[in-house]
Chain A
Amino acid sequence: MNALKLRIAGMHCESCEKLLKKALSKLGHIKEIDLRYNNEIATIYYNQEINVDKVISIIRESGYDAMPISGDYSINNASIKQFLKDLKNKNKAEGQLIFIALQVFAILALLEGVAYFGFFRNIPNFFNTYGYFIIFLLINVVLMATSVWHIKIYGNKFTCMTGMMIGMTIGMLSGFLIGIIVGATNGMFVGSVAGLLIGMAVGGWCGKCCGIMGIMEGIMAGLMGGLMGAMTSLMLLNDNLKLIFPIVTGASALILGGLDYMIYKETKKNEINETYKYDKFNFISFCFLITIIVTFIMVYGTKSLLFR
C-alpha cells in the first residue's frame, strides 16, 4: 500500500473535512483517507498508481489548497548523492557548468597574471595591498557566476517562493562578496557603491525569473549585501582582515551549493538545452567584465583617507 502526504490549507471545520473526503473518494484506487480539519497534513493511502496532479486539482476545485509534502521540497540522501554525481557528469547541465567554471577560473587567473607582470609589478607591496584580495575576487566572481548561470539555464520556470529565495541569496551574496573585497582596498565609500551596484544589478537580474517580487527582493538584498560587505572589511581593518576572506568565501560557497541543490531539485530537467550552450560565451564575458572592472577600481579607484 502506498501513501501520499499532502499539506492542505483552508480547512476550518468538520464539514470541510467531510466535503473533501467525499470529493477525494470519487477518485479510484483509494483505500483510506486520513484527513482532519484541525491538521494541515493529510495522508491518502492507495493501492495502485494515483495521479498526484489529479488529487491536487480535485482539492483545489473544492476550494482548498494542497501541496505534496514528500517530493520537490524535501531533502534526502538519495537526491543529494544524485546531485553530487551529476556535478561530475559532463553530460548533465550541472556537470557542464562546473567544467566551464573551472575553465573560466583558469582563463581569468592567467589574465590577472599577465596584468601583474604587465602593469602591477611596479606598484610597491602589491601582493599585500591588492594581490591577496584579487585572488579572492576571482574565486568569488566565478562562484557567483556559476550559481547565476545555473539559474539562467532554467529560465523562468520557478515558483514565486523559489524566485524570491534566488533573488535574495544571489543579490545579498554578490553584493557582500564584492563589497568586502573593494572595501578592503578602497574603503567604505567605494566599497559600498561597488558592492551595492553589482549586488542590485545581479540580484534583480536573477530575481527576474519570478517577476516584480523577485526583482524587488534581489535589488533590496543587493543593497544590503553591498553596504554590509564594505562595513565588514572596514571593521576588521585592525583585526584579522585577511583571515576573514577564506572563511567568508567558504560560507558563501556552502550557501550557493545549497541554492544550487534547491534549483536542481526544483527543475529536475538536467538535459542541456540549446540556449544554454549559446550562453557559454556570455558566462565567460560576464566574469571577465566584472573582474576587470573591479580590479581596475581596486587598483586605480579613489581611496578613503585610511588607505592613502
Chain B
Amino acid sequence: MEKKIIVKGMHCKSCEILIKDELEEAGIKARVDYKKGEVTIENFDSKTDLANIHKIIEKNGYKVMK
C-alpha cells in the first residue's frame, strides 16, 4: 500500500533529493514530488513508523500537514 504525505516548504529538485535520501537512510522507500508537495511512501503497512517519517522530514526544515 502507498501512503501520501503532504509536505509544505519544498521548492526545488534538491529538496526532493534531500528528503528521498534521508528517508532512504532510514530504510524507507519514497517518491517525492515538490510541485505537488507530496511525499509518497511505498510499501506502507501497519508496521511502518509514521511518526518517525514525520520526524525525519521536519528535521530537515519542512512542515508535514497532518
Q: Which residue of A lies closest to B34 (CB)?
A: A15
B15 contacts the other chain (Cβ, under 8 Å)?
yes
User: Would you give the 0/1 interface string for A9-52, flagging 1 where the beta carbon is closer than 8 Å to chain B?
Assistant: 00011111011001000000000000000000000000000000
Q: How many interface residues does chain A have, given as a range?
A: under 10
Distance of A39 Cα from B10 Cα, bound (Å): 21
Partner of A12, one of B10, B12, B18: B12
User: Would you give the 0/1 interface string for B2-40, flagging 1 where the beta carbon is closer than 8 Å to chain A?
Assistant: 000000001110110110010000000000000000000
Sample of 17 more A-B contacts, CB < 8 Å, known A12-B14, A15-B12, A18-B14? A12-B12, A13-B11, A13-B12, A13-B14, A13-B15, A15-B10, A15-B14, A15-B18, A15-B60, A16-B12, A18-B18, A18-B60, A19-B17, A19-B18, A19-B21, A22-B18, A22-B21
Distance of A12 Cα from B15 Cα, bound (Å): 11
Whole-angstrom distance between the Cβ of A14 and the nearest chain B Cβ: 7
Task: Point out the residues of chain B lying under 8 angstroms from A12, CB to CB.
Answer: 12, 14
Q: Which residue of B lies closest to A13 (CB)?
A: B12
Distance of A15 Cα from B17 Cα, bound (Å): 9
Q: How many interface residues does chain B have, given as a range?
A: 10 to 19
Q: Which residue of A lies closest to B19 (CB)?
A: A15
Interface pairs (13), CB distance under 8 Å: A12-B12, A13-B11, A13-B12, A13-B14, A14-B61, A15-B12, A16-B14, A18-B18, A18-B60, A19-B14, A19-B17, A19-B21, A22-B18
Query: Which of A12, A15, A18, A19 has its CB near the most chain B CB atoms (within 10 A)?
Result: A15
Q: Which residue of B lies closest to A37 (CB)?
A: B14
Distance of A22 Cα from B59 Cα, bound (Å): 14
Whole-angstrom distance between the Cβ of A36 and the nearest chain B Cβ: 14
Task: Point out the residues of chain B lying under 8 angstroms from A15, CB to CB.
Answer: 10, 12, 14-15, 17-18, 60
Distance of A291 Cα from B10 Cα, bound (Å): 67
Distance of A12 Cα from B60 Cα, bound (Å): 16
Q: Which residue of B lies closest to A23 (CB)?
A: B21
Task: Point out the residues of chain B lying under 8 angstroms from A22, CB to CB.
Answer: 18, 21
Task: Point out the residues of chain A lying under 8 angstroms from B17, CB to CB.
Answer: 15, 19
Task: Point out the residues of chain B lying under 8 angstroms from A14, CB to CB.
Answer: 61
Distance of A15 Cα from B11 Cα, bound (Å): 9
Distance of A19 Cα from B15 Cα, bound (Å): 8
Whole-angstrom distance between the Cβ of A49 and the nearest chain B Cβ: 28
Task: Point out the residues of chain B lying under 8 angstroms from A19, CB to CB.
Answer: 14, 17-18, 21
Whole-angstrom distance between the Cβ of A18 and the nearest chain B Cβ: 6
Whole-angstrom distance between the Cβ of B22 and the nearest chain A Cβ: 9
Task: Point out the residues of chain A lying under 8 angstroms from B61, CB to CB.
Answer: 14
Task: Point out the residues of chain A lying under 8 angstroms from B21, CB to CB.
Answer: 19, 22
Q: Which residue of B lies closest to A11 (CB)?
A: B14
Beta-carbon contacts under 8 Å, A137-196 to B: none
Distance of A14 Cα from B14 Cα, bound (Å): 9
Q: Which residue of B lies closest to A22 (CB)?
A: B21
Whole-angstrom distance between the Cβ of A271 and the nearest chain B Cβ: 45
Task: Point out the residues of chain A lying under 8 angstroms from B11, CB to CB.
Answer: 13
Whole-angstrom distance between the Cβ of B34 and the nearest chain A Cβ: 9
Q: Which residue of B lies closest to A17 (CB)?
A: B14
Q: Which residue of A lies closest to B60 (CB)?
A: A18
Task: Point out the residues of chain A lying under 8 angstroms from B15, CB to CB.
Answer: 13, 15
Beta-carbon contacts under 8 Å, B29-66 to A: 60-61
